Chain A
Amino acid sequence: MPEQPYVKLMLQVLAQSRVEHYQNENLLQLTLWLTYRVLDINPRCAEAYLVLAYFFCLLGESDRAYRVLLHHVQAYRIPHTGIDAFLTLLSPQSSLEAVTLTPAEVSEGLPSLQDTLQRFARVPAVPFAHNVQVASPALSRLAELVKGMEA
């Protein structure tokens, strides 16, 4: 494939940029120049899409990375394990899974059940009738509004 030498160079320059902890702006510019040069030659190149997505992730724009990769999948339907793996990590469903906590993590920092029960015991119970009395004017007003709308 004609883009292959450019793909290799793009990944090599990206690797050098990574080694230098992305502090070398000139390397970043060259990496991106190569990425779009690869896309000039082959707009379907999965590696170029991956590098773009990777950059967006580094910038904290994982949603943009997700849309970039999703476009590749939907537009070209070319199976690629790297794109699949990145999409799995970036998909909204995956994000939800990522914030799912284990029982230990849930209980960490929370008061114990005993503490919670003792705190409730110290709070005076409010009778149901009192709550209804407080809410009654608002409920009456609401009922009047509904009647007005039905009339």
Chain B
Amino acid sequence: MSHEPPTFLHPRAVRTGLERVIEHQRVPLQETPKLAALYEEHLQTEPLELNAAQLRDFLSRESKAAQEDWIQQIFKI
């Protein structure tokens, strides 16, 4: 059996998925009760409470290195 990453994990599919999420006004994100239960059991973590300026700062960084710098700053908080 081949274990090559399936097409939905390839960068092009990823970008498409990301764009859809960013445009989520057209594709509403909906959490069903069953999904909420799974989230709370297997993914729940305390929110970080990033502010709008911090997020804008991250998104304004164009290079991966600059984005990585931002991440390292957050790690220190």
Bound together, the chains give a CA A69 to CA B73 distance in angstroms of: 32
Bound together, the chains give a CA A15 to CA B31 distance in angstroms of: 13
Q: Tell me if B14 and A36 are in contact (CB < 8 A).
A: yes
Interface residue count for B (Cβ, 8 Å)?
41
A15 contacts which chain B residues (CB < 8 A)? 43-48
Selected from A8, A16, A54, A71, the residue in CB contact (under 8 A) with B47 is A16
**SS of B interface (majority):** helix
A86 to B: closest C-beta gap in Å: 6
Interface residues as binary, A12-32 with B (CB distance below 8 Å gives 1, 0 otherwise): 111110110010111111101
Q: Tell me if B29 and A58 are in contact (CB < 8 A).
A: yes
B37 to A: closest C-beta gap in Å: 9
Which residue of A is nearest B20, CB measured? Answer: A59
Binds B, one of A60-68, A120-128, A139-147: A60-68
Interface residue count for A (Cβ, 8 Å)?
50
A51 contacts which chain B residues (CB < 8 A)? 43
Bound together, the chains give a CA A51 to CA B39 distance in angstroms of: 9
Binds B, one of A74-82, A99-107, A108-116, A130-138: A74-82
B50 to A: closest C-beta gap in Å: 6
Q: Tell me if A54 and B21 are in contact (CB < 8 A).
A: no
Which residues of B approach A to under 8 Å, CB–CB? 1, 3, 5-6, 8-9, 14, 17-18, 20-22, 24, 27, 29-32, 34-35, 38-39, 41-50, 52, 55-56, 58-59, 67, 71, 74-75
Query: Which 8 pairs between the two chains have the least Cβ-Cβ distance?
Result: A82-B42, A16-B47, A11-B45, A75-B3, A12-B48, A22-B29, A26-B55, A58-B29
